[in-house]
Amino acid sequence: MTEAVALRWANKYPELGSDPIPVAPYVSSDAYEEEVEKVYKKTWLKVGRVEEIPKKGDYKVKKLDFAKTSVILIRGKDDVIRGFHNTCSHRGNKVVVETGGDETFGNSKAAVVTCRFHGWVYDAKGDLVDVPEEGNFHPCFAREDNGLTKIRTEVWEGFIFVNLDSEGTQSVEEYLGDMGKHLAGFPFGKMEDVFAYNTELNCNWKVAHDAFAEAYHVATIHAGSFPNVFGSGLQDLQLLGDHRTAAVCLTNNAKPEPAAALATSITGASLVNYKEKSMLPESVNPSNRKDFAFELTVFFPNILVHISEGLWFTHQFWPMGPNKTRWEGKYYLPKVNTYSERWAQQFAVTLQRNAWLEDTATMEDTQDALESGSKDVMHLQDEEILLRHGYHVLEKYLK
């Protein structure tokens, strides 16, 4: 293999360089705090899907540990979804008690939320609409000045995004830019069966993120779940502003195991499947590759969105500390109609879950080893171009 072929991405994107990347940002407390302040508190972050709160008065509370807050997302009587800090204006109690761990769901037919401490009531626009014994407050108190603190909230293709930067003016559509156009039109909302997994990992968020953002590891880590199925080389790579995307393809001799092949023939719920292009946007798999498996898309800073024919899935990484991360994986499929389809779907999802367990099994060991201080840099090979681009985007925000 010639050097030009072996280093195709380095030759195409020389501005990203070829030097090793430093270990320090993966283990430093100072680096973590800087990333929180300059990245996570400034950029658009996906916190839900519209299908999670489909009815007027439905609400979701999402914890954001890195910002020491939680977000109330509520669908108003006008069908608009708005976001607010989960903090009562009276004495700072949480308005909605978080009973569901990282995510809490509920419904108020009146489209209001009430603080259990003293009964202050807020409507879905965040306005304070009722205060018990209001006459006992001093003249300096005014309802209109004591609504919930708003969080900038917008919806793109059914994804609910928030931005904690109250001074910012950039819309989520502007933030996503060409990447938003790249994935626009995919029928995300039609995949109604959702299989969700999450865990807290003792590693930096970038360690977790990077483990999913390349295919170099597939032949080794996934030798059990997907033996000799996916190629390590990325195809149709596009670096779109702060975001990036590429196709992951099947090997020439990709062949699922007998049970997996049967499941695939029934529902097509597995990634190991040769499928005709029918629902993918035109910019995805533009050359109509027959070996196309799925699109690996990274929305900076912390979510990977993968789409394929008839399914899609996400990985999201929430920083909780310099060496602690919450990972969320969700797999979306069409609803099934028969018992055989249910079996096939469950088989595919179980196989995918096992692969994700294989992925997450490496992360804490990586963090432990990096924190030993025995290495100062990490070397990336050419096919780890998505990691290299991500590091450059992160550096841009920090500077």
pLDDT over threshold 50, residue 307: yes
**Predicted local confidence at residue 260, as pLDDT:** 81
Which band of pLDDT confidence, cut at 50, 70 and 90, is reported for residue 236?
very high
With contact defined as beta carbons under 8 Å apart, do 383 and 9 qualify? yes
State the chain's mean pLDDT as an integer.
93
Determine the average pLDDT of the residues in 365-380.
97
pLDDT over threshold 70, residue 332: yes
**Predicted local confidence at residue 257, as pLDDT:** 76
- Could you give the CA distance from residue 220 to residue 226 in angstroms, rounded to a whole number? 10
Strands, sheet with 193-201, edge to edge from the N-terminal-most edge strand: 193-201, 324-333, 311-321, 303-308, 292-299, 243-249, 235-240
Nearest to 59 by CA among 46, 48, 77, 75: 75
Complete domains list, the chain, with CATH: 3-22+179-398 (3.90.380.10), 45-164 (2.102.10.10)
Which band of pLDDT confidence, cut at 50, 70 and 90, is reported for residue 1?
very low
Nearest 5°: CA angle at 42, between 174 and 328?
90
Tens digits of residue pLDDT in 28-45: 999 999 999 999 999 999
**Predicted local confidence at residue 5, as pLDDT:** 52
In this prediction, what percent of the chain has a pLDDT beyond 90?
Answer: 84
Whether residue 334 is preceded by a cis peptide bond, meaning omega within 30 degrees of 0, is no
**Predicted local confidence at residue 161, as pLDDT:** 98
**Predicted local confidence at residue 265, as pLDDT:** 85
Most confident of 104-113, 149-158, 211-220: 149-158
Which band of pLDDT confidence, cut at 50, 70 and 90, is reported for residue 224?
confident
Tens digits of residue pLDDT in 36-76: 999 999 999 999 999 999 999 999 999 999 999 999 999 99
How far are the Cα atoms of 79, 330, 348 from residue 111, in angstroms, in the given order?
A: 10, 28, 39
Other CB atoms closer than 10 Å to residue 278's CB: what's the count?
A: 7
Determine the average pLDDT of the residues in 259-263.
83
Tens digits of residue pLDDT in 138-161: 999 999 999 999 999 999 999 999
Determine the average pLDDT of the residues in 228-236.
89
- Return the exposure string of 213-224: e unless at least 16 CB atoms fall within 10 Å of the residue's CB, then b: bbbbbbbebbee
**pTM for the full model?**
0.94
**Predicted local confidence at residue 242, as pLDDT:** 97
pLDDT over threshold 90, residue 255: no
Tens digits of residue pLDDT in 157-208: 999 999 999 999 999 999 999 999 999 999 999 999 999 999 999 999 999 9
pLDDT over threshold 70, residue 2: no
